[in-house]
Every structure is written in structure tokens, then in C-alpha cells.
Structure 1
């Protein structure tokens, strides 16, 4: 009787490790895009920066532009969670104070000045722009569900959908405003973080006037 052979080779990656690899690829892609441009960056270069093959890069992402997607979508769950916990009568920007801090620190790697440069690239690179806008398309229904849950409304109610659209637009406008303002400046990391957070709080204060 022949003994059955066990599985050989490397054990399968956990979902946590896969997420880590996606972030590593995203950070490397951002640095290369900002340093040398999107057109000049190859999958091989992104992989080399992380220590993986180009084949591995394409296993996780369909295109080099989509490699930055994890950095664009990292804060969706954080913001949705704070929307659900937002207390009646509490200023929105106050409720989001810790949420914004958490979001800004979710994906350490490229500095905030580098992220600002990446946002500016989305204005001239159609592939990156598509990924940037898609991340907000994904965020809006998540925010709407959180607001509906907070208010005890059906998930398909129009009111939280409109509120989520207002909030989503405010957050995007804030980040793009920050990117424009810092285009010609060389900020220290702490200064960049503080300015981005302040800009987002200001946008939330304006948006809250229509969300009360």
C-alpha cells in the first residue's frame, strides 16, 4: 500500500499577507510614478522595488495604474465606521477628528507630499484618474449604508444616498484642494499631515451644513 503524499511547496498565502503585498506594491508604484512618471514605469520595476516578479504584480493588479488603488481606498471602512457612530448634535468635523487621523496613518509608506504629487498626476494621467474616481464610486454606497444605519432608515432610502454623495464630494474636493495648494512647496511630513487633516476638517464642516 502506497502512503499518500502530502502537499509540497510553499504554503498558501493568508489574506492578511496578500493585503500586505498589495500595499507594498502600491507604495512602490507611487514612488516610481512620482519619480519618473507613469509612462516610464514598468511592471518589472515595480516588482523589483518590492522584491517580487512582474508576474506577481500582474497577479494582484490588472494594470500598473491600478497598483495605487489600495492607497486610494484604504480609508473607506474607517470613515464608514465613524459615520455609524456619529452622535446626533455632534459637529461632523469633531466626530471625524480621530477618523481622519486614523485614515492618514492607515498606509504608512509614501509621505503626504508624495501622495499629493500622486493626486496631481491623476489630473494628467487618464489611467490614474480612472482609478482615483473609481475609489470614490466605491466609497459612496459604503457611506450611504453607514448613514442609513445611523438614522435607522432602509438601505435604499434616498436621503442617506444624497448625504453620502455630499460627504464624498467634500472629501474628494478637500484632498484635491490640498494637492493644488502644496504643488510648489516642500513640506515636512508633520506639516503636510496637519495641513491635509485641517483641509479635510474644513470640508467636513461645510458638508455638515447639509447633513444635519
Structure 2
């Protein structure tokens, strides 16, 4: 007797992690545009799902609340900073390094920087959006600590490493929020303005710990 053929699987193929991340990013962009145009209160989860051609059921599988839809775009800001920190070479201060190295992540779109600023402007009157921004910042902090610990030959739980990571995180938050506040809605500032402000904030946060004289122990 011949072997029985394996059953044919029906239904959709499982989505890859990268495709899922890109889909979440598209949802995030759509949500921010709707929030900016109509306001958070007047925008529903169904509105966001419809803008990207998804069902509301799918949207709620990926996001807890409509406000949490902004998280993937906000994460681009912290991703760019941690990536640049990871490329920081020996013999150069971090603030100087950022001036020439800081750049948008690979998956970033042409208006993603402005979408980040739009969320931060909205967050001044929307506590739920502010909470999401702070959660994104909190998640970035241990990543920063890990990069610093490896560079300086210390443990991630070293109090000096943790404090410095928190200071860098605060520098990123303050610089980004300042640019958002100084920029009109829909207007994206030159990338040089953001980088220069971020570099100045990092220099203020370093207090000499992260200067060119820092070497692994």
C-alpha cells in the first residue's frame, strides 16, 4: 500500500516576527495621524483598525488600548539612541559621537520623527499618551545600562551604571520633548537640531563619567 499523503493545511500562514513588527508600526502611524487630526477622545480602536484595513479584533490582539497603539513609533526614538550608543567608539566623547552618528532606525519612515513629536505634543493634555511614552523610556533604560556595563567592564546592576543609564535616558527624553514643544504641528525640524540638542543633553548628563577618558576596568 502506498503512503497516505499528509493532510493539506488550510488557513493563513503564520506571520513572521518582522512582518508583525512592521504591521504594528503601520498601525501606530495610522493611530497617531488620527489622534492628531481628530483628537484621542474622538478616535476609536475601530477607526484605527479601519485605517489600515484590519479588523478591530486583530487590533485588540496586538494592543491593549487605543492609546498604546502609539508605542511602536515612540520606540523608534529610543531604538535610534541605543543603536548609536552601541556604535560609540573608544577615544571619543559620547556627545561628539552622536553629532556624526545618530540616525533614524532602518524601519523608520520619512515622517516618523514628526509623528513622535506629535504624540509628545498631544501627551501634554493626554495622560494616557504620556504614560505610554514613559513606559517606552523605562524599557530602554536596562538596554542602555547593558551597553554601558559592557563598555566600562562593570556589572549591569552596578549603581554607577544604573544611574548613568537613567541620566542618558533623561537626556533623550528632555531633548525630544523640547524639540516637540518648539515645533509647530506638522513641521519636522531639521535632524541637525534634534541631534545638537540631544548631544548637549547627553553632555550635561555625563558629568565627566562618559568622556573620552573612560576606559574599561
State the TM-score, normalizing by the size of structure 1: 0.87
Residue 179 (structure 1) shift? 1.2
CA 1:197/1:60 → structure 2, altered by over 3 Å: closer, same or farther? same
Rounded Cα–Cα distance in structure 1 between residues aligned with 2:129 and 2:47: 18
Equivalent residues of 1:84, 1:149 under 8 A apart:
no
| Structure 1 vs Structure 2 CA RMSD | 2.2
SS where residue 41 of structure 1 aligns? Answer: coil
- Number of matched residues? 208
- Structure 2: runs of 5 or more not aligned: 211-217
- Structure 1: runs of 5 or more not aligned: none
1:82 matched to 2:84: yes
Equivalent residues of 1:112, 1:192 under 8 A apart:
no
Name the counterpart of 2:18: 16
CA 1:18/1:98 → structure 2, altered by over 3 Å: closer, same or farther? farther
Name the counterpart of 2:209: 211
Residue 49 (structure 1) shift? 1.2
Q: Map 1:106-185 to 2 at 5 A.
A: 106-108=107-109, 110=111, 112-183=113-184
Rounded Cα–Cα distance in structure 2 between residues aligned with 1:32 and 1:109: 18
State the TM-score, normalizing by the size of structure 2: 0.85
1:50 matched to 2:48: no
SS where residue 34 of structure 2 aligns? Answer: helix
